[in-house]
């Protein structure tokens, strides 16, 4: 069961008014580890010169969001209701405010990817809608061919396959679109990627396949898996706490981007509020090794760990989770829409955390295993 922010605050207030953790958890079917996290996040603090109380989480989130929300509200108040509008209709509205507000604010206001908006602005400069439509069709086809080739085809080979499938495109245009999409053939970048992977010292593989932690929030592991629904690809990023094998955060996106990885990490960090002795272990994908993500880890005082290049068993816990997820959920269902796919993923992960016994945990669920740890503290 999902609880709203207001419901969480209400339950925490019951605790501070004298009700025990055991009584609250039993009555509302909440794991103790989850409730202790709520207590930490929604602990009431009396504000100076005010009768209101706020929590530590309020201080952190309100200060960051206040200015952005004011701008988003200004955008929303200036346009008609477009909840059911298509992406193109949203882009046309946002273009009217381009230059008045930041692109981040505009895109967040109407839930439009920034890359899509920038492409729209660029296409409009060409003043050629048919050309813009052609480019979008090519991008989808290029992504499909690139994935089918196991990321080995360069622009020339993809261009040849496009011609076989009836598309009209030159090698230069395919190369340009691949650059915009961040696609690069492994056959042309393998040596550079090999050098890059070896630039990280061997000591950065902190785990060394020791997939056990002494307590929650000591080691988190992460990875991304790809799923195809109809003719579109979706990417699921998940973060698992190594102690309990609990999936502490997950996100789904149509792009395997740094933004996806970063958003998932922030979700996990805000939910768990770990200490400074946290290790984050992932593969050496470009999203995990890019400067922006590594700087975020440094800012949060999280130590980063990488497996050795070309050794998926060094991240076996994540490989195992995704294998189980696809076997028990994804391959068994025919999803009718993206919304249904996202809903079913949420439901499965809730089932995985709360109801599915784990052999590594002596046939306890991840939440039961964490519960036992916190009861001992």
In a domain, 263, yes or no: yes
What domain count does the chain have? 3
What does each C-alpha distance from 367 to 36, 328, 354, 358, 361 come to in angstroms? 12, 19, 6, 11, 10
Q: Is residue 157 in some structural domain?
A: yes
In a shared domain, residues 218 and 353: yes
Same-domain status, 280 and 182: no
- Give the Cβ contact number of residue 169 at 10 Å: 19
Parallel, antiparallel or unpaired: strands 303-305 and 279-281: parallel
Among candidate residues 120, 140, 164, the one where a domain is terminated: 120
Give me the sign of the Cα torsion angle 261, 266, 271, 272: positive
Same structural domain, 227 and 371: yes
Alpha-carbon span 348 to 352, nearest angstrom = 6
363: domain CATH number is 3.30.420.10
Asked whether residue 154 is assigned to any structural domain, the reply reads yes
**Domain-terminating residue out of 89, 120, 151:** 120
Helix (H, G, I), strand (E, B) or coil at 185: coil
Q: Please indicate, yes or no, if residue 201 is contained in any of the structural domains.
A: no
Q: Is residue 312 a contact partner of residue 337, using CB atoms and an 8 Å limit?
A: no
Report how far apart, in Å, the C-alpha atoms of 306 and of each of 45, 68, 251, 285, 293 are: 40, 35, 21, 10, 13
Residue 196 in any domain: the answer is no
Burial, 216: exposed, middle or buried (Cβ in 10 Å; 0-12, 13-18, 19+)? Answer: buried
| Domain contains 351 | yes
Across the strands, what pairs with 54? 45
**Same structural domain, 112 and 143:** no
Q: Which of 17, 7, 16, 62 is nearest to 39 (CA)?
A: 16
CB atoms inside a 10 Å sphere around CB 313: 9
| 225 and 311, same domain (yes or no) | yes
Q: Of 122, 140, 118, 147, nearest to 132 (Cα)?
A: 122
Residues 182 and 252 in one domain: no
Per-residue pLDDT of the chain (377 residues; tens, 9 = 90+): 678 888 888 888 888 888 888 888 888 888 888 888 888 877 766 555 555 566 666 667 767 777 777 777 677 656 666 667 788 888 888 877 776 678 888 888 888 888 888 887 766 654 445 566 777 788 888 888 887 877 788 888 999 999 888 888 888 888 888 877 767 776 655 555 555 545 544 447 777 777 888 899 999 999 999 999 888 899 999 999 999 999 999 999 998 888 899 999 999 999 999 888 899 998 888 888 888 888 889 989 999 888 876 666 778 899 899 999 999 999 998 999 999 999 999 999 999 999 999 988 999 999 999 999 888 87
- Claim to verify: residue 109 and residue 23 sit in the same structural domain: yes
Domain that holds residue 11: 5-120
Cα separation, 346 vs 348, whole angstroms: 6
In a domain, 202, yes or no: no
Residue 228 sits in the same domain as residue 282: yes
Specify the pLDDT at position 329: 93
Contact 35, 25 (CB under 8 A): yes
Domain identity same for 152 and 180? yes
Of 81, 100, 120, which residue sits at a domain end? 120
Among 250, 261, 248, 269, smallest CA distance to 292 is for 261
Question: Which among 274, 281, 156 has a CA at the least distance from the CA of 216?
Answer: 274
Asked whether residue 303 is assigned to any structural domain, the reply reads yes
Quick one: 98 and 158 in the same domain?
A: no
Cα dist from 200 to 80, 232, 309, whole Å: 51, 34, 10
- Same domain (yes/no): 183, 234: no
The rounded distance, in Å, linking the Cα atoms of 233 and 313 is 25
pTM of the model: 0.49
Number of neighbours of residue 46 by Cβ within 10 angstroms: 9
Do 9 and 144 lie in one domain? The reply is no
pLDDT at 203: 45
């Amino acid at each position: 069961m999902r609880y709203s922010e207001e419901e969480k605050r209400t339950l925490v207030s019951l605790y501070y008014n004298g009700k025990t953790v055991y009584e609250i958890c039993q009555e509302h079917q909440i794991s103790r580890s989850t409730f202790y996290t709520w207590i930490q996040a929604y602990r009431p603090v009396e504000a100076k010169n005010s009768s209101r109380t706020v929590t530590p989480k309020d201080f952190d989130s309100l200060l960051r969001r206040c200015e952005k929300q004011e701008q988003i509200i200004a955008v929303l108040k200036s346009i008609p209701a477009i909840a059911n509008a298509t992406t193109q209709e949203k882009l046309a509205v946002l273009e009217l405010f381009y230059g008045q507000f930041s692109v981040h604010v505009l895109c967040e206001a109407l839930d439009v990817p920034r890359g899509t908006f920038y492409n729209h602005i660029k296409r409009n400069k060409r003043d050629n809608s048919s050309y813009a439509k052609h480019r979008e069709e090519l991008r989808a086809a290029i992504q499909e061919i690139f994935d089918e080739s196991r990321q080995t085809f360069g622009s020339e080979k993809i261009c040849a396959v496009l011609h076989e499938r009836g598309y009209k495109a030159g090698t230069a245009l395919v190369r340009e679109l691949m650059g915009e999409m961040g696609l690069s053939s492994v056959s042309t970048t393998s040596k550079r990627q090999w050098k890059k992977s070896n630039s990280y010292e061997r000591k950065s593989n902190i785990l060394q396949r020791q997939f056990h932690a002494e307590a929650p929030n000591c080691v988190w592991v992460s990875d991304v898996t790809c799923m195809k629904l109809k003719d579109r690809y979706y990417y699921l990023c998940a973060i698992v706490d190594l102690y309990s094998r609990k999936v502490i955060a997950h996100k789904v996106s149509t792009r395997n981007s740094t933004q996806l990885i970063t958003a998932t990490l922030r979700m996990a960090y805000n939910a768990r509020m770990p200490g400074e002795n946290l290790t984050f272990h992932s593969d050496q994908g470009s999203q995990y090794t890019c400067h922006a993500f590594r700087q975020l880890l440094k800012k949060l005082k999280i130590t980063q760990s990488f497996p050795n290049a070309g050794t998926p068993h060094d991240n076996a816990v994540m490989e195992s989770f995704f294998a189980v997820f696809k076997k028990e959920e994804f391959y068994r269902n025919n999803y009718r829409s993206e919304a249904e796919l996202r809903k079913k993923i949420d439901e499965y992960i809730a089932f995985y955390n709360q109801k599915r016994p784990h052999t590594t945990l002596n046939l306890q669920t991840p939440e039961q295993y964490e519960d036992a740890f916190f009861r001992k503290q």
